[in-house]
Amino acid sequence: MELAPLLAAGVPLVGWTTHSTVLARRLATARRDPLTGLLTRDGFTTRAERIIRRHPERTTVLLIDLDDFKAVNDTHGHAAGDAVLTATARRLATWCGTDGIAARLGGDEFAAVVLDAEHRVPDLNDQLHHPVPFGTELLSVSASVGTSHPATLLLTEALSAADRQMYAAKPGARTARRR
């Protein structure tokens, strides 16, 4: 049996296998935020919609926004801001555990979809207010959390409802409305 035909047939196969592997890695990377390791909006949307479809009555959708995050960057520098973002991501992912997923939507905005979590939201709120170690300092942080329970199977509607609740919970929201 000649080896040349086998090698000739195997080379394209190896090339396609390598290409497929590289493409799969790139897609996975595109669905993960490089700083925090959380899902990006695209990766989150696909998985969140699947969870909502399967368990609409047990699902809580959360939207989290860091309060006064710009002040951290302006006062302590971008490395400190990165430390706050990664600490927030780690705390959120840990809180979600195996019953949900977390994402960084962009900037200082995060989202999560979690099963049977309504009673655990106060614990998340507490965790997101713990100072973040940065060098020899402890950075004060706080976050506003909005929750929603999808009345429909649409993630966009649940995120909008959580967004309204989150902004209502932001510091100064009550006084701003009175003006």
Return the number of other C-beta atoms located less than 10 Å from residue 71's C-beta.
Answer: 11
Strand order in the sheet with 59-66: 100-106, 109-115, 59-66, 143-148
Cα 87 to its chain centre, rounded Å, is: 12
- Cα separation, 99 vs 60, whole angstroms: 11
Active site residue 108: yes
E-only strand ranges, the chain: 59-66, 100-106, 109-115, 132-134, 137-139, 143-148
Q: What is the DSSP letter of 37?
A: -
Q: Are 163 and 173 in contact (CB under 8 A)?
A: no
Which ranges in 35-145 belong to alpha helices (H)? 41-54, 69-76, 78-96, 121-127
Of 108, 123, 126, 163, which is the active-site residue? Answer: 108
* Catalytic residue ranges: 108
